[in-house]
Amino acid sequence: MPIAPEELHRFLTGVHPYDTLEYSDIDGLVPQFVQRRLPAGTEIYHVGEPLDGLYLIHSGQVEIRDDNDVTVSLLGPRNSFGERGLARDGLAATSARTVDDTLLFLLPVYAFRALIAESPAARRFFDRSRAPRPQKNDLAHSRVETLMAANPLTLAPSATVRQAAALMAERHASSVCITDGPLLKGILTIRDVSGKVVGGGLAFDTPVTQIMSADPVTLPPSAIGSDVLHMMMERNIGHVPVAEAGKLVGIVTQTDLTRFQAVSSAGLVSEIARATSAEQMAEVTARIPQLLLQLVAAGNRHEVVTRLITDITDTVTRRLLALGEAKLGPAPVPYLWLACGSQGRQEQTGVSDQDNCLFIDNAASDDDMAYFAQLAQFVCAGLDRAGYFLCPGDMMATNPQWCARVGTWRQYFTRWITKPDPMAQMLASVMFDLRPIGGTKSLYEDLQAETLEAASKNSIFVSHMIANSLKHTPPLGLLRGFATIRSGEHKNTLDLKHNGVVPVVDLARVYALQGRLPEVNTRARLDAAVAAGKLSGSGGQDLLDAYDLIAETRLEHQAEQVRRGSAPDNYLAPSSLSDFERSHLRDAFVVIKSLQSALGHGRGMLG
């Protein structure tokens, strides 16, 4: 069923550069767009073919490949493609294929040329898109499933080293995965064979289970390419298996990444992984503001920028844990270091404190607990020296309350859910954003599932969480204005964190709670909430659009501060925005306010 003209008009008003046009100009464009619904796997065009016009994605995903058939981009809704070829000789410079069932709008060549001739904003936008750019790594935009080898070599646990070596030699491969049916059990590499068998004098009929890396670190297909690169650099490995629910689905090797250049964030990760002190790490993290500026200037989306910056924090944390164990001795019992707050949600910007806690195995004695108190002190002090200042609310593992056995944590969550007073609401909100960073992940996995189930079933607790999520309100004033801060250091500014981003974070957390969704990242929670039916498709898209606009505005503000030599913060003066920007920012706040109102009145499924 075709999209109605009025819906297409509304869609275009939220897509740049069409959002810069007068409504009457958009009215003129709407009938010129041709709608195309294409099933997954449809080839839209190939390199060198004449282009029909400019494509705009309404829904679905499109894979863009270069003339070597290498995936260079994965595009989603509101992205355009094909303009590069139109700007040159009218022939496609890349190939395009649908990944999902996709709805496209095609603006014919003649209409595209008229648009860029008549609209300076459109001309600037598309000129910038097709201007020659330095080669850069696109890992931040590439999902692991587009990078991995989908059929890695596998052997059963009963195989010998001789069989593994023969198979790798036959297939010219550098690794083989050890699997029990579909389940990944380990990985064996050429380096293992040469170092442990040849160098170690073991017999070639040694079982692979004796020299393989058991339970290797993995990534899901939905991870991004930068996750692979960072993991390889931090752990000094060359192979990352890709698994889903424990089942092997692919593998990514260094060879798979050779066509990409390492993004600068990967360089920082690599330096931190080799650092021997917090002071050395501080020298590296001091470059994060410049990294933020470069990433924003390169046009990276906010969720990419914050993900890469958070990766650096994760690496600092894990490196400090390793240095702490080297100083204090091995941990006496299993433990898990978790992050909450923006690090937990993988949403860190250029301004970050630390929010963390420790889950400790129930077998820990009082002497063991003293060890973990020392470890927490070492890591938190190191994070502070590395630029992640101490949490003003003392939400850190150095607080004995947040350095506890798993059984104590289970009691915490039970008490917060069954007796949801204001303090319990606040603590639960923070702790629902927990994400494992280093240690034994299984200490948290069961507790997370149990907590989500118990919390979602308790209507009183959910009501309290909803009420708590409505405490941070968008800064909307009367007469289409903004409610700016009235006094103090930040007078006449908007707090884009507490009155912009946080309201969406709080809403997404409630949707995740209602749907028992394990996702922690805000955007991932909203996507999952729509898929689970806890948020309507239209309401979810509106909220995602509003969140994207506010988060992008916040990052651009911080990047501009860095450019001027100032420390980044979250306080934006509306006077620094154009009328157009102020109008769209206010519209985004209105969307959030509307969804808050719907949730507060028991209508979370805003249509």
Structure tokens at 158: 């009963």
Q: What is the CATH number of the domain that holds 204?
A: 3.10.580.10
Structure tokens at 202: 């073991």
Tell me the mean pLDDT in the region 547-557. Answer: 94
Out of 23-27, 101-105, 408-412, 579-583, least confident range = 579-583
Do 214 and 239 fall into the same domain? yes
Residue 455 — φ and ψ, nearest 5°?
A: -65, -40
> Tell me, what's the pLDDT at 317?
97
Say if 327 falls within a structural domain. yes
Say if 464 falls within a structural domain. no
Sign of CA dihedral 327, 331, 332, 337: positive
66 versus 45: the higher-pLDDT residue is 45
Vertex 138: Cα angle to 136 and 141 (nearest 5): 150
Do 79 and 128 fall into the same domain? yes
Q: What is the largest CA-CA distance in the chain?
A: 81
For residue 375, what are the contacts with CB-CB under 8 A and spacing of at least 6? 321, 324, 325, 328, 331, 335, 358
pLDDT at 480 over 80: no
Do 237 and 159 fall into the same domain? yes
Q: How far apart are CA 520 and CA 524, in angstroms?
A: 7
User: How do residues 186-236 score in pLDDT, each as one tens digit?
Assistant: 999 999 999 899 888 899 999 999 999 999 999 998 888 889 988 998 998
Say if 97 falls within a structural domain. yes
> Tell me, what's the pLDDT at 137?
43
Number of domains present in the structure of the chain = 4
Say if 385 falls within a structural domain. yes
Residue 542: C-alpha distances to residues 42, 546, 571, 585 (Å): 28, 6, 24, 13
> Tell me, what's the pLDDT at 66?
60
Q: Which residue shows structure tokens 């001795």?
A: 329
Q: What is the DSSP letter of 305?
A: H
3-state secondary structure of 325: helix
Do 251 and 172 fall into the same domain? yes
604 versus 160: the higher-pLDDT residue is 160
Residue 15: C-alpha distances to residues 121, 428, 545 (Å): 12, 37, 10
Identify the CA nearest to 593 among candidates 606, 574, 580: 606
> Tell me, what's the pLDDT at 479?
45
Do 368 and 269 fall into the same domain? yes
Written as one string, the DSSP assignment of 193-227 is IIIIIITTT--TTSBGGGTSEES---B-TTSBHHH
What ranges in 419-516 are assigned the alpha helix state H? 422-431, 442-457, 459-469, 502-515
pLDDT at 603 over 60: no
Interstrand relation of 175-180 and 154-155 (parallel, antiparallel or unpaired): parallel
User: How do residues 491-520 score in pLDDT, each as one tens digit?
Assistant: 999 999 999 999 999 999 999 999 999 999
- Look up the domain containing 79 and give its range: 5-132
Residue 534: C-alpha distances to residues 117, 460, 528, 599 (Å): 44, 18, 9, 11
pLDDT at 132 over 50: no
Q: How far apart are CA 228 and CA 343, in angstroms?
A: 19
Residue 432 — φ and ψ, nearest 5°?
A: -75, -5
Do 181 and 90 fall into the same domain? no
> Tell me, what's the pLDDT at 101?
92
Say if 442 falls within a structural domain. no
Q: What is the DSSP letter of 238?
A: S
pLDDT at 393 over 80: yes
Please tell me whether the peptide bond between 330 and the residue prior to it is cis, using omega within 30 degrees of 0: no
Are 333 and 364 within 8 A, CB to CB?
yes
Out of 95-104, 221-230, 321-330, least confident range = 221-230
Which residue type is seen at 573? A
Say if 497 falls within a structural domain. yes
Confidence of residue 134 (pLDDT cuts 50, 70, 90): very low
Q: What is the CATH number of the domain that holds 268?
A: 3.30.460.10
User: How do residues 395-420 score in pLDDT, each as one tens digit?
Assistant: 999 999 999 999 999 999 999 999 88
> Tell me, what's the pLDDT at 347?
95
Average pLDDT, the chain: 87
Tell me the mean pLDDT in the region 243-263. Answer: 76
Angular region, 387: left φ>0, alpha ψ -120 to 50, beta rest: left
> Tell me, what's the pLDDT at 84?
65
pLDDT at 82 over 90: no
Q: How far apart are CA 222 and CA 21, in angstroms?
A: 36
Are 259 and 70 within 8 A, CB to CB?
yes
Vertex 53: Cα angle to 47 and 55 (nearest 5): 85
Do 339 and 385 fall into the same domain? yes
Q: How far apart are CA 265 and CA 272, in angstroms?
A: 11
Tell me the mean pLDDT in the region 303-323. Answer: 94
> Tell me, what's the pLDDT at 163?
96
DSSP lists the bridge partners of residue 213 as 187
Do 397 and 486 fall into the same domain? no
Which residue type is seen at 297? A
Do 226 and 161 fall into the same domain? yes
Do 474 and 553 fall into the same domain? yes
Residue 200 — φ and ψ, nearest 5°?
A: -90, -5
Do 403 and 274 fall into the same domain? yes
Structure tokens at 166: 């023969």
Long-range contacts of 577-582 (CB under 8 A, 24+ apart): 580/20, 581/553, 582/482
> Tell me, what's the pLDDT at 69?
67
pLDDT at 370 over 70: yes
Say if 421 falls within a structural domain. no
Do 302 and 201 fall into the same domain? no
3-state secondary structure of 248: strand
Tell me the mean pLDDT in the region 250-277. Answer: 77
HEC secondary structure over 17-73:
CHHHCCHHHHHHHHHHCEEEEECCCCEEECCCCECCEEEEEEECCEEEECCCCCEEE
Q: Does an H or E element contain 154, and which?
A: strand 154-155
Say if 138 falls within a structural domain. no
